[in-house]
Amino acid sequence: MEQLTARGMRADSEPMRLLRQCAELCELNARALKKDSRLARRTASLCLELSNQVAHAPWLDGSPTSTLLASEALQLAHRCHVLIFT
């Protein structure tokens, strides 16, 4: 988010909102997993969906920063997928 802000993206823009939601959901998912919560699969499912949205967002412009962000979001989606289906 800092890199996007440095490139001039507003804090209230759609990409920033998606990234903020993804970070908050990841934190919630981590807490659910630590507690061995029955809701961990649900939060992982939501995390999967949101990280896919981040990875495939139209605002990714092919810059090195965007490419890295998309790659990390896809890795997160993969990890969530494994949590859901194991």
DSSP state for residue 69 in the 8-state scheme: H
21-78 pLDDT per residue, tens: 888 888 888 888 889 888 888 888 998 898 888 888 867 777 787 788 888 888 888 8
DSSP state for residue 10 in the 8-state scheme: -
SS3 56: coil
C-alpha to C-alpha distances, 58 to 31, 40, 45, 53, 84, nearest whole angstrom: 30, 29, 22, 9, 26
pTM over 0.95: no
